[in-house]
Amino acid sequence: MLQSLTRRVTGTTAVMWLIGSAILLLVVWGSMRTITGAVELHRLGDLQRTLTTNLIDGIAQGSVYALIALGYTLVYGILRMINFAHSEVFMSGPFIGYYVATALHGSGFLNRQPFVSLGIVMLVAMATSVTVAVLLERIAYRPLRRAPRLVPLITAIGASFFLQYTFLGLFGSGIKGYPEIERLKGRWTIPGTEIGILRTQLVVIIAAVVMLIGLYLFVQRTKIGKAMQAVSEDKDTAALMGIDVDRIIVITFVVGGALAGAAGVLYALLFRQVKFDMGFIPGIKAFTAAVLGGIGNVVGAMLGGLFLGIAESLFPNLVLDGLGIPAPYQLKDALAFILLVFILIFRPTGILGERLAAKKA
Amino acid sequence: MGNVSRFDWRMPLKVGLLGGLIAMLIALVGMVEASQVRPVITSLLSLGQTLLLLVFVFTAATAARRSVGHEGSVGLLGVINAGLAGLVTSAVLVGLVLVGGLINLRAVLIRASPELYDLLTLGLGRGRGSLALLALGVLLGVIVGVVYLLPARPRRAVTVGAGLVPVVAILWSALFAGRGLSLLTAAIIFVAAAGLSYLWSLLQARVGDKDRPLSLAGQRAMQWGRWAVLGAIVVLFPLLGKFPSEVLDNVGLYVLMGLGLNIVVGFAGLLDLGYVAFFALGAYTMGILTSPEIGWLGPRLTFWEALPFAVLMATLWGVILGIPVLGMRGDYLAIVTLGFGEIIRLVVLSDWLKPYIGGSNGITRIPKPVLGPISLATPQTLYYLLLAGCLLAGFIAIRLKDSRLGRAWMAMREDEDVAQAMGIDLVKTKLLAFASGAAFSGLSGAIFASKLTSVYPHSFHVLVSINALCVIIVGGMGSIPGVIAGAFALVGLPELLREFAEYRLWVYGAALVMMMLRRPEGLMPEARRRLELRETETGSST
């Protein structure tokens, strides 16, 4: 008994657990300090309000992450590769959408028919992202399907930079501000409470939830969705069952691209700006979300996205503040990465995933 | 006539269309216009035009090559196909010019300026210029097609000659006052290069004669001769002046980093995208220990005293960051290491550690290295420091490669499970790879800090990791000469061509994709890896 335990717990695992428990302890201690500090100063109400706002920000942000994360998860599930250029698929949609949005704004249509125009912008963005994703698959990934593992990954990194700087070259390096929609200004208060939500956040959350449910039904119920699952399970067997594997892979990229394009527009609604390198950080975070939920798992990616969004907006004020770190919001992005490292150490399978990390594709 | 294959109009159309799209993309991202200022041949050809020219040549060459007949010769069909492809390529560009004349593309595509149209239409105005462009496309295609009619040896000579002219011209104009070659000089270079190449290939054919091999002493003498020439060139480089030395210094920094990353990625097969973290650690350690701005940490050290600490610090962190990722492979490792790099940058940038390491203001007033009475302040003297560093690192890398450890790394790269079964301690081997890679990077970072006399968080962007990765991949993963070649091509060349600064990463991205698709083993591949990659390509399964 003891022997088998010592055999399993090697030096490195011990060190890892030590690091992990230390981080966990810091998190608990930090939140305790924040709360006790607020109680001592009789400002628990303030803290509560701040945290509620953070929570709502987090949900809105998290639902965008969830949509992007789905693109990573779907592609990983089928090709067992990280589509590193997915962040550029995400960026390209709202980037082209920006030109449509400004044109609509210029003609006054945007404010007359905000939801119709939003739909148009979204469709354009989705179409753009789908085009980029499909081209990427066709040009960069398909010829390498049987290459050693590192090769497609490096290709993906190259494609990511190529796309980023193509957009920089074609459209310039400046930040492009999305026009503001009159109808979506201001807050909406949840009836019976004091909690206010920015209207844009509300739109983002509703749109994201609708799309997430749609995707879930698509994957679970439709024939194509089932074929996708089959291909992700075993390509060769799926092919024997009469599934056109190439077609399913393209469809996967189409679906992932469409979701990323939509997520891009929602992201632009929240932050109202696009830039050629805007994809990088959300891309990494969405990947984190996908890993968090268990990469290859659709529901996991959704949950992971929400969790990450909430965690990263709550953490700075809840935990880091209590630890006495000045200007904690600066470390928001670092937190996402720390979380990623943390999960990969302790539960590489993610919340809902099967163990894929050890599987050799 | 057995070698006449059927004329298929779709092939040149497809090739030409692709070429046209590439040419259009190059034009629209602004690369053509940006490099317009640099002449290649004075008052005849600018670098921007050369770029487009190259696209035409490649398109036509592809079309010609694809029309190989049954008996392996290209024939007249090649000329026709190449001409057609050239025509289609220029037709795409003409289309861009005409559309640009009708609607204002510039509102969206910021580089679609009248200057670009002017350049594309050869300054002849829209109507006549378009016709001229079409004619030029056909002409270029036909010329390339005719070159393909030549037998292999003279064809190679012509290609080498034509390829060398822009290279020499670019180096010439970058190093000396931005003047291009005169037409006469260009012609002389072309003839000389083509002639030499032809003679060389004849000579090669003779030397390659297995019946009369060169004597052992002769071979050795040739080898020593080659090394002596190379050594002399390397030592005399700084005589070129201040600017080229500066460029060489940057190349040296990347050679150092590349050699380290080559151990991690090339030898051990661990894709590390957070490599910049160790570069940053080396630089910051150097800054913290030597700059008089830092008051909280004891006496100020000199460059040489701080150097071992910087390397040690990087090595130590190489191990610390290596431990959590021991169980990870491939993609996961890449993302986590990317995360590490970003965490370190964000933490350094935050206000939290500002009192200790300067936050976004960085650390300045880092002293330059002093060697006895000589201060290594100029780029020329610093070059020798870097050279020494690179030689040391290169020596270590070469020795490591064939050592027991190096072979363990490669075994691990091929298959971790099998390597473990063979008795390789994976934990130790992986950590040693991370540690030695980090040490090289730390050394590079330390020299970087004292070269600039300052460190700022923004110097340690993830792009540095990507640059280093590109260097080793383009050079050839696992190959030490490849790292050096890669650093010269990817760091030296863009530094020389300042107007390309904006397109550097664009070209890198394209280069990575192209390399992986066409030549995954790199420019100067390691023998073993080339075999492996070729093997998997022909192998039935992965």
Quote the pLDDT of residue A9: 60
Closest residue by Cα to residue B143 from B223, B54, B60, B230: B60
* Six-digit token string for A109: 């249509």
Closest residue by Cα to residue B84 from B5, B13, B6: B13
pLDDT exceeds cutoff 80 at A328: no
Contact A318, A263 (CB under 8 A): no
Residues of B in contact with A19 (CB under 8 A): 324
Contact B329 A144 (CB under 8 A): no
Quote the pLDDT of residue B536: 52
Contact A262, A133 (CB under 8 A): no
Confidence of residue A206 (pLDDT cuts 50, 70, 90): very high
Backbone angles phi, psi at B296, to 5 degrees: -90, 0
d(CA B466, CA A161): 9
What pTM does this model have? 0.85
**Which pLDDT tens digit goes with each residue over A249-266?**
999 999 999 999 999 999
Quote the pLDDT of residue A292: 83
Chain A (119-158) residues lying within 8 Å, Cβ to Cβ, of chain B: 139-140, 143-144, 146-155, 157-158
CA dihedral A259, A260, A266, A267 (to 10 degrees): 160
- Write the DSSP symbol of residue B109: S
How far is C-alpha A19 from the chain's CA centre?
A: 26
Quote the pLDDT of residue A355: 47
Quote the pLDDT of residue A77: 86
Quote the pLDDT of residue B256: 93
d(CA B480, CA B393): 10
Quote the pLDDT of residue A357: 42
Confidence of residue A354 (pLDDT cuts 50, 70, 90): low
Quote the pLDDT of residue B1: 39
Quote the pLDDT of residue A124: 96
CB half-sphere exposure, B99, CA atoms < 13 A: 11
How does the average pLDDT of chain A come out, rounded?
85
List CB contacts of A145: < 8 A, sequence separation 6 or more.
Answer: A79, A152
How far is C-alpha A320 from the chain's CA centre?
A: 23
Contact B347 A99 (CB under 8 A): no
Percent of chain A with pLDDT over 90: 38
Question: Taking the CB of residue A36, how many other CB atoms lie within 10 A of it?
Answer: 11
Residues of B in contact with A81 (CB under 8 A): 331
Contact A155, B470 (CB under 8 A): no
| DSSP conformation letters of A180-199 | PPGGG-SEEEPTTSS-EEEH
Interface check for A5 against chain B (CB to CB < 8 A): the answer is no
Instruction: Collect the ranges in chain B with pLDDT lower than 70.
Output: 1-7, 68-74, 177-178, 206-214, 329, 527-542
Contact B315, B322 (CB under 8 A): no
How far is C-alpha B474 from the chain's CA centre?
A: 6
- Write the DSSP symbol of residue B350: S
Residues of A in contact with B339 (CB under 8 A): 284, 288, 337-338, 340-341
Nearest chain B residue to A345, by CA: B324
Quote the pLDDT of residue A167: 93
The helix-helix angle for B242-261 and B462-475 (nearest 10°) equals 80
More confident residue, A38 or A101: A101
Contact B340, A284 (CB under 8 A): no
Contact B84, B16 (CB under 8 A): yes
Chain B (352-371) residues lying within 8 Å, Cβ to Cβ, of chain A: 352
Contact B513, A158 (CB under 8 A): yes
Quote the pLDDT of residue B353: 81
Quote the pLDDT of residue B530: 65
Contact B111 A334 (CB under 8 A): no
Nearest chain B residue to A332, by CA: B346
User: Max Cα separation, chain B?
Assistant: 87
Closest residue by Cα to residue A252 from A72, A125, A68: A72
Chain B (53-112) residues lying within 8 Å, Cβ to Cβ, of chain A: 108-111
Quote the pLDDT of residue B211: 55
Cβ-Cβ contacts under 8 Å between A and B: the total is: 175
Interface check for A81 against chain B (CB to CB < 8 A): the answer is yes
Quote the pLDDT of residue B238: 77
List CB contacts of A257: < 8 A, sequence separation 6 or more.
Answer: A71, A89, A126, A129, A130, A131, A132, A133, A134
Chain A (338-357) residues lying within 8 Å, Cβ to Cβ, of chain B: 338, 340-341, 344-345, 348, 357
Confidence of residue A78 (pLDDT cuts 50, 70, 90): confident
Residues of A in contact with B469 (CB under 8 A): 154, 157
Backbone angles phi, psi at A325, to 5 degrees: -90, 125
Euclidean distance between the first and the last CA atom of chain B, given in angstroms as a whole number: 43
**Which pLDDT tens digit goes with each residue over A109-121?**
888 888 899 999 9
Confidence of residue A12 (pLDDT cuts 50, 70, 90): low
Question: Taking the CB of residue B207, how many other CB atoms lie within 10 A of it?
Answer: 10
Residue with tokens 């969705």: A225
